[in-house]
Amino acid sequence: MKLIIEDDEGRKTVVPLVREEITIGRQDGNTIRLTERNVSRRHARLVKENGNVVIEDLGSYNGVRVNGEKITGPTKIKEGDLVEIGDYDLGIQGKLDAVEPAAKKQTTIPPGSVKAAARTTIPPTQAAAPAQQEKPAPPPQSTTPSPSAGGATAIIRVSDVMKGAPQGEVRDLDRGEMPRLVGLAGPFRAKEFYLMRSEVKFGRTEENDIVAEHQSVSRQHCKFVLDQGQWKVIDNKSANGVRVNGEEYAVSNVQPGDVVELGHLKFRFCAPGEKFTAPPEKAEGEQQKGMKPTTAELIAGASQPGRMGAAKKGRSPALGVALGVAAIAIAIGAVMFLRRGARKEGSGQLSAAEATREGDAAFKRHEYGKASELYEQAVAEGVTPPNRKRAIEEAKGERTYNQLRDAIAADPDKAKALFDKCASDSGHYCQKVQSEFADQVKSTYSKKHLNAATAAKSAGKAEACSSEVNLVLAMDPANAEAQAIQCAPQAAAERHEGPSPAERNAKASKLGNEAFQKLVARDLDGAYQKANDALKQGAPDKKANAQAWRVLGYVYATARSDPATGKKYLEKYLPYCTDDCDKVKAFVSR
């Protein structure tokens, strides 16, 4: 029987299983030494037992997977099974042979020589047959095995299962198109990584676009791809996989607000321009670098001071005791959780599993407020459901939707404020607000302020009349009724000199909006021309010029490479800014 490792070019490394026990790990002294960083010092062992081969995890950091499933105890493996250890894949071939034990030799697999295979369960019928007339492979004679040695293998290449991955020309993205990943915990908390191209590679080594140097991240862990307007994350046969909102995927769509786990790192996927700040990190119970150890690591750290860095410089023996206490506390907590999870319905309180299950059902029905309440019950029982954060965010949009629906007729100003609040939110209910209530909000808001403008004009209050008219034109520049209101009486000679102040305000506002639309469409020359036309109207209400100043500021600062002039225009725009205030403030304060 042989242990076979295949690299990314189809070359195979073969190690005969001639010993009763083979240890696998990163440090010297193991029978097989795998030198990638996501392999623990003593990671696993293979044992011959009653005619079978059994693999056992030795308390490793990243665990051992057999056919994609993480093992929790000694597990039998056979020909055709895929064993994953860090970035390495192992498959066994043939039957157990009665071979006398050879002298102890160490086989070292250097970094970069082997890549992880696809996460695919391989039935025995898929295992390739041994090559014909193959000579038995001799025991290794050096620390580096021959890359051409060996026979057939059951390991599947990633190209066999990734043919359906999104394909297309890779392009650079404009700043307004770039989503970003925001770290939620550990050493990457609050760090931001922009996806600057339509295909972005994520991994531990320098050849990636985003480099996350962490033990749980594979060398080429995954990639993010923009496919027909939809972002996808694609697992690149990584050792610890890709999870979206707690579920593991090979390929998955990602939406703003999704929590993406890459190895043991967690990130929030944020839409372009979305405002998001990582929440404060809890320091209690976390490691020095911010990552929580597993129960197995704590136990191993207590019993083996060398593990978990207990013997590092400056580490006192008391810390080893603390780790042991922490392990006991975790074990006690696990027992308490199991007891709580088994609570019967008759107790009047849902168990963590029940609360999570019912919360997930409410989440799927878009009842986010109810889902949040159920998830909080699960949290009180010691479990944090994967969808909890998303439900809390979506519940805000749900409340806005309900409040706006009630305010449309009763309080048009409040309805408009709620409508504007949803303008930059891509959540489920804010999208419903935009599609269902836009016309009603515009109609009721305009009616209220046009009535107020007419009343002010009748009372001779020209300034109040003009203010009400401008409120309507700011929201709806094409409103004909607002354009027609003459708030101040004009002398006969003045009536033939040009448009009224209200008309100039309306025209400037309309041209400014057209300029901004051209800016969004990347028609910079057209945007520049429209913006200047808007300013030529001489609008007495400075707010009517806001969009024109905004457009000229962006055009001068970027396309015309004149940041000083751009800054002057953006300083004029700043008092009237809407969804880009932080960006404008940062620019003008330089």
pLDDT tens digits, residue range 414-457?
Answer: 988 888 888 777 788 988 888 888 889 989 999 999 999 999 99
CA distance 33 to 256: 41
CA distance 351 to 388: 16
pLDDT classification of 258: cutoffs 50, 70, 90: very high
Is pLDDT of 271 > 80? Answer: yes
180-186 mean pLDDT? 90
Q: Tell me what pLDDT residue 96 has.
A: 65
Q: Tell me what pLDDT residue 210 has.
A: 92
Q: Tell me what pLDDT residue 6 has.
A: 63
* % of the chain with per-residue pLDDT over 70: 73
CA distance 320 to 302: 5
Distance of CA 429 to the CA centre of its chain: 21
Give 280-312 pLDDT, tens digit per residue.
Answer: 765 434 443 444 444 334 334 433 434 333 333
Q: Are strands 107-109 and 32-34 parallel, antiparallel or unpaired?
A: parallel
Is pLDDT of 201 > 60? Answer: yes
Judge whether 220 and 201 are in contact, CB under 8 Å. Answer: yes
Greater confidence, 196 or 14?
196
94-121 mean pLDDT? 49
Q: Tell me what pLDDT residue 124 has.
A: 32
**Mean pLDDT, the chain, whole residue set:** 75
pLDDT classification of 109: cutoffs 50, 70, 90: low
Q: Tell me what pLDDT residue 146 has.
A: 33
Is pLDDT of 55 > 90? Answer: yes
Sheet holding 222-227, edge to edge: 210-211, 199-203, 222-227, 230-235, 251-253
CA distance 136 to 130: 11
Judge whether 61 and 40 are in contact, CB under 8 Å. Answer: yes
Give the gyration radius of the chain's Cα atoms.
32
The 3-class SS string of 428-467 reads HHHHHHHHHHHHHHHHHHHHHHHHHHHHHHHCCCHHHHHH
Give 60-94 pLDDT, tens digit per residue.
Answer: 888 898 888 889 999 999 887 888 888 778 888 77
pLDDT classification of 249: cutoffs 50, 70, 90: confident
Q: Tell me what pLDDT residue 169 has.
A: 79
The 3-class SS string of 50-82 reads CCEEEEEECCCCCCEEECCEECCCCEEECCCCC
- Lookup result for tokens 């429209």: 530
CA atoms lying within 13 Å on the CB side of residue 60: 33
Highest mean pLDDT among 42-56, 325-339, 568-582: 42-56
First to last CA, the chain: 68
Name the least confident of 151-165, 334-348, 433-447: 151-165
Sheet holding 21-25, edge to edge: 75-77, 52-57, 44-49, 21-25, 32-34, 107-109
CA distance 562 to 552: 11
- Biggest CA pair distance of the chain: 116
Is pLDDT of 339 > 70? Answer: no
pLDDT classification of 12: cutoffs 50, 70, 90: low
Greater confidence, 12 or 367?
367
- Lookup result for tokens 């994953």: 84
Q: How many residues does the chain have?
A: 590
* % of the chain with per-residue pLDDT over 90: 16
Selection from 330, 329, 328, 352 nearest residue 339 by Cα: 352
Q: Tell me what pLDDT residue 162 has.
A: 42
pLDDT classification of 107: cutoffs 50, 70, 90: low
Judge whether 468 and 450 are in contact, CB under 8 Å. Answer: yes
540-554 mean pLDDT? 88
Is pLDDT of 128 > 50? Answer: no
- The residue type of 192 is E
Q: Tell me what pLDDT residue 256 has.
A: 93
CA distance 516 to 477: 13
Give 566's contacts (C-beta < 8 A, 6+ positions apart).
552, 553, 554, 555, 556, 557, 558, 560, 587
pLDDT classification of 163: cutoffs 50, 70, 90: very low
pLDDT classification of 112: cutoffs 50, 70, 90: very low
Judge whether 252 and 232 are in contact, CB under 8 Å. Answer: yes
Is pLDDT of 160 > 80? Answer: no
Q: Tell me what pLDDT residue 101 has.
A: 46
Helix 501-520 to helix 524-535 angle (10° resolution) is 170
Q: Tell me what pLDDT residue 136 has.
A: 39
Q: Tell me what pLDDT residue 525 has.
A: 84
Is pLDDT of 225 > 90? Answer: yes
CA distance 45 to 60: 11
Q: Tell me what pLDDT residue 168 has.
A: 63
Taking the C-alpha atoms of 526, 528, 534 and 535 in order, what is their torsion angle to the nearest 10 degrees?
-160
Q: Tell me what pLDDT residue 370 has.
A: 92
20-30 mean pLDDT? 86
* Distances, alpha carbon 299 to alpha carbons 305, 324, 334, in Å: 10, 6, 14
Q: Tell me what pLDDT residue 421 has.
A: 84
Give 490-508 pLDDT, tens digit per residue.
Answer: 544 444 467 888 888 899 8
Q: Tell me what pLDDT residue 353 has.
A: 86
Judge whether 150 and 13 are in contact, CB under 8 Å. Answer: yes
CA distance 195 to 271: 10
Helix 462-475 to helix 501-520 angle (10° resolution) is 20
